[in-house]
């Protein structure tokens, strides 16, 4: 498809340890940008001096002492602390570290499979001093803990500014004259991750309790989708949208179930990032667009993919976010509209900037705005763009650690409220302006579940291992007053589900909790049968039944009631990491290689 006279706008801002076992440019299709930053207080390499005294990087501390010893106390948010000591020596723009000793935290390092061999050897790091800020990057170090906690880090005295590198947001408009189609009937739409307001509920589907992939019983259609992706399908009218990242290296995979360590995948091959539109009746691919092609700018976790963010649509525009590869918008008919390059999105374990697991937060569209949550190693912010043009409407900086949660706009008695989860705080914002209205400390450390709304409450949760694993119910439309809070019950990955007065919380290991949504009182706790390798997909519900998709590819049906009752289990034949969509009498299930439509056959 021909691209015409694009316009670019530039904006500028001033290990898994998931498991313990307006500036105009020339009219060219790709905008070229030079970022100007204020002169920094860098000193020549020969004059650099390692600053002594206690320095901070988030909650971690580092001290280079005058007696040539150093002490590092690293806080892995959501997991625990590690205290290391040793000796240091400065040499022409680098620092040499030796004499390594683990004072505390050995069990944590072993639990997350950090290699300890080689720590008797000297490690070398480049250092850079800018004002009161110290930046370190590894040259060579065989010692796993030192590299984990020091590489790509920045340190400053407590209370002093400690900014990451400047970030540039660059917009390219492909077709300013494109006419957007009407939205059409969206009454049965499932427009973004977990449906409207991430509720995960759509009654009136009348789904069968039994289906069979091999015989075709109650399988309406199956469509193969190449590549790897954990993004979930979305639906508007007769169109289903889903994304994928197609590796140029054959046999690219991801891991399911328990795993040791938090290493990133070794798949850094060239990829194609693709958005597909399928016909919901036949499963036919109506159109597909390659949003980007090239080498990934970030890394992904061994259990993740390069297309883990779910697209979003308002029936006119469909938006796909591929992390460091940009945010891409099309009409629902497949015409390219705009793209926005947000720069490199480096997301991983807070407190260990060298650890990259890749982004997964999904965009949402509300009242003509595309809203994204960007919490990275370098910076954190919310960004609202015009759905039609990609122009920036507002941007709100956040003091947060990396996260994978998707924001939710909930409807309250006092109007719309943007609820955003975070490793340090859950927050409420005005979705029109980005103004923060309230915040509640959570202490979760690692944040993946999406906030939901129910019974006048906004419910936020997290389940980082070793953290408080909080669930907090905040009264909507106010100042952040809490209705109730639970500790030790938050889910790690799956978003909770509120339905008919109950709140269902699914743990990765298959423990299903039910609570009274208004009080937080426990109704039951049960082990889901046939949990297999565990659960990453979030539960959905329709017509009094819960649908729980495990990683091995089984969909377990459970009664949505005050007592636990297993209804049926159906096998899909391949792993499921994505959350199903419900629309038009069908459940759309994305497996490792396909999209299925499940429903009653006439």
pLDDT tens sequence across 336-360: 999 999 999 999 888 788 888 899 9
Whether the per-residue pLDDT at 459 is higher than 90: the answer is yes
- Where does the pLDDT of residue 30 fall: very low under 50, low under 70, confident under 90, or very high at 90 and above? very low
Asked if residues 242 and 229 have their Cβ atoms less than 8 Å apart, the reply is yes
d(CA 352, CA 17): 11
Whether the per-residue pLDDT at 150 is higher than 60: the answer is yes
- Where does the pLDDT of residue 378 fall: very low under 50, low under 70, confident under 90, or very high at 90 and above? very high
Q: What is the pLDDT of residue 349?
A: 81
Q: What is the pLDDT of residue 260?
A: 56
Mean pLDDT on 178-200: 94
Q: What is the pLDDT of residue 43?
A: 39
- Where does the pLDDT of residue 261 fall: very low under 50, low under 70, confident under 90, or very high at 90 and above? low
d(CA 330, CA 6): 14
- Where does the pLDDT of residue 467 fall: very low under 50, low under 70, confident under 90, or very high at 90 and above? low
- Out of 34-38, 159-163, 311-315, give the one with best mean pLDDT: 311-315
Mean pLDDT on 143-169: 92
Secondary structure class of 337 (helix, strand, coil): strand
Whether the per-residue pLDDT at 10 is higher than 60: the answer is no
Q: What is the pLDDT of residue 45?
A: 43
Give 82-87 contacts, CB < 8 A, sequence gap 24+.
82/108, 82/109, 82/145, 82/149, 84/145, 84/146, 84/149, 86/146
Whether the per-residue pLDDT at 551 is higher than 80: the answer is yes
Whether the per-residue pLDDT at 264 is higher than 90: the answer is no
Q: What is the pLDDT of residue 26?
A: 33
- Where does the pLDDT of residue 468 fall: very low under 50, low under 70, confident under 90, or very high at 90 and above? confident
Q: Burial of 455 by CB count in 10 Å (0-12 exposed, 13-18 middle, 19+ buried)?
A: middle
Tokens found for residue 506: 């699914």
Neighbours of 364 (CB within 10 A): 27
Q: What is the pLDDT of residue 32?
A: 30
d(CA 395, CA 370): 12
- 144 — phi, psi (to 5°)? -60, -50
Mean pLDDT on 451-458: 97
Question: Residues, the chain, total?
Answer: 602
d(CA 387, CA 55): 42
Q: What is the pLDDT of residue 442?
A: 83
Over the stretch 487-533, which tens digit does the pLDDT of each residue have?
999 999 999 999 999 999 999 999 999 999 999 999 999 999 999 99
> Domains of the chain (ranges plus CATH)?
45-155 (2.40.128)
Partners of 156 in beta bridges? 56
Mean pLDDT on 63-85: 88
Mean pLDDT on 389-396: 97
- Where does the pLDDT of residue 465 fall: very low under 50, low under 70, confident under 90, or very high at 90 and above? low
Asked if residues 56 and 162 have their Cβ atoms less than 8 Å apart, the reply is yes
Q: What is the pLDDT of residue 250?
A: 81
Over the stretch 291-313, which tens digit does the pLDDT of each residue have?
999 999 988 988 899 999 999 99
Mean pLDDT on 152-163: 93
Average pLDDT, the chain: 89
Q: What is the pLDDT of residue 78?
A: 61
Q: What is the pLDDT of residue 305?
A: 94
Whether the per-residue pLDDT at 445 is higher than 90: the answer is no
Helix (H) / strand (E) containing 313: strand 312-313
Neighbours of 53 (CB within 10 A): 12
- Where does the pLDDT of residue 75 fall: very low under 50, low under 70, confident under 90, or very high at 90 and above? confident
CA 553 to mean position of chain CA atoms: 22
- 430 — phi, psi (to 5°)? -80, 115
Spatial neighbors of 376 by CB under 8 A, at least 6 apart, are: 164, 345, 346, 347, 359, 402
HEC string for 526-552: EECCCCCCCCCCCCEEECCEEEEECCC
High-pLDDT (> 90) share of the chain, %: 74
Q: What is the pLDDT of residue 6?
A: 36
Over the stretch 85-111, which tens digit does the pLDDT of each residue have?
999 999 888 999 998 899 999 988 887
Q: What is the pLDDT of residue 352?
A: 84
Look up the pTM and report it.
0.89
Q: How far apart are the first and last CA of the chain?
A: 39
């Amino acid at each position: 498809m021909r691209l015409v006279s694009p316009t670019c706008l530039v904006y500028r801002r001033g290990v898994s340890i998931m498991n313990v076992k307006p500036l105009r440019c020339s009219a060219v299709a790709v905008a070229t940008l030079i970022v100007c930053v204020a002169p920094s207080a860098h000193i020549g390499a020969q004059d650099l001096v390692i600053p002594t005294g206690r320095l901070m990087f988030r909650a971690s501390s580092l001290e280079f002492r005058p007696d040539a010893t150093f002490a590092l106390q690293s806080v892995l948010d959501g997991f625990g602390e590690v205290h290391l000591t040793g000796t240091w020596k400065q040499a022409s723009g680098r620092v040499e570290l030796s004499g390594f000793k683990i004072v505390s935290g050995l069990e944590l390092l072993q639990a997350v499979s950090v290699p300890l061999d080689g720590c008797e050897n000297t490690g070398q790091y480049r250092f850079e001093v800018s004002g009161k800020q110290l930046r370190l990057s590894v040259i060579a170090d065989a010692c796993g803990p030192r590299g984990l906690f020091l590489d790509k880090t920045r340190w400053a005295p407590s209370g002093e500014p400690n900014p990451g590198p400047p970030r540039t947001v660059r917009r390219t408009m492909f077709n300013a004259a494109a006419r957007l189609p009407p939205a059409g009937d969206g009454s049965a739409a499932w427009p973004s991750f977990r449906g409207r307001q991430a509720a995960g509920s759509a009654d009136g589907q009348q789904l069968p309790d039994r289906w069979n992939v091999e015989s075709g019983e109650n399988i309406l259609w199956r469509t193969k989708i190449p590549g790897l992706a954990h993004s979930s399908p979305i639906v508007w009218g007769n169109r289903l949208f889903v994304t994928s990242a197609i590796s140029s290296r054959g046999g690219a995979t991801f891991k399911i179930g328990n795993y040791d360590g938090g290493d990133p995948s070794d798949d850094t091959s060239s990829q194609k990032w693709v958005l597909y539109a399928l016909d919901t009746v036949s499963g036919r691919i109506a159109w597909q667009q390659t949003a980007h092609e090239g080498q990934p700018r970030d890394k992904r976790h061994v259990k993740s993919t390069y297309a883990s963010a779910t697209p979003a649509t308002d029936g006119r525009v469909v938006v796909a976010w591929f992390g460091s590869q940009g945010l891409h918008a099309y009409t629902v008919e497949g015409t390219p509209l705009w793209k926005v390059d947000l720069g490199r999105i480096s997301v991983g374990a807070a407190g260990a900037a060298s650890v990259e697991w890749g982004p997964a937060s999904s965009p949402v569209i509300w009242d003509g705005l595309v809203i994204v949550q960007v919490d990275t190693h370098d910076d954190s912010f919310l960004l609202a763009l015009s759905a039609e043009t990609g122009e920036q409407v507002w941007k709100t900086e956040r003091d947060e650690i990396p996260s994978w949660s998707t924001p939710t706009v909930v409807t309250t008695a006092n109007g719309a409220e943007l609820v955003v989860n975070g490793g340090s705080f859950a927050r409420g914002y005005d979705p029109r302006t980005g103004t923060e209205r309230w915040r509640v400390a959570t202490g979760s450390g690692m944040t993946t579940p999406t906030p939901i709304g129910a019974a006048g409450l906004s419910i936020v949760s997290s389940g980082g291992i070793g953290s408080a694993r909080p669930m907090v119910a905040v009264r909507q439309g106010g100042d952040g007053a809490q209705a109730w809070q639970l500790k030790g019950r938050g889910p790690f990955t799956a978003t909770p589900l509120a339905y008919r007065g109950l709140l269902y919380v699914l743990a990765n290991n298959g423990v299903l909790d039910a609570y009274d949504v208004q009080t937080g009182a426990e109704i039951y706790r049960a082990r889901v049968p046939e949990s297999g390798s565990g659960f990453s997909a979030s539960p959905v519900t329709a017509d009094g039944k819960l649908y729980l998709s495990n990683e091995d590819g089984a969909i377990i049906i459970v009664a949505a009631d005050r007592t636990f009752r297993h209804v049926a289990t159906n096998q899909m034949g391949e792993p499921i990491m994505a959350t199903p969509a419900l629309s038009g009498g069908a459940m759309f299930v994305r497996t490792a290689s396909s999209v299925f439509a499940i429903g009653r056959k006439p």
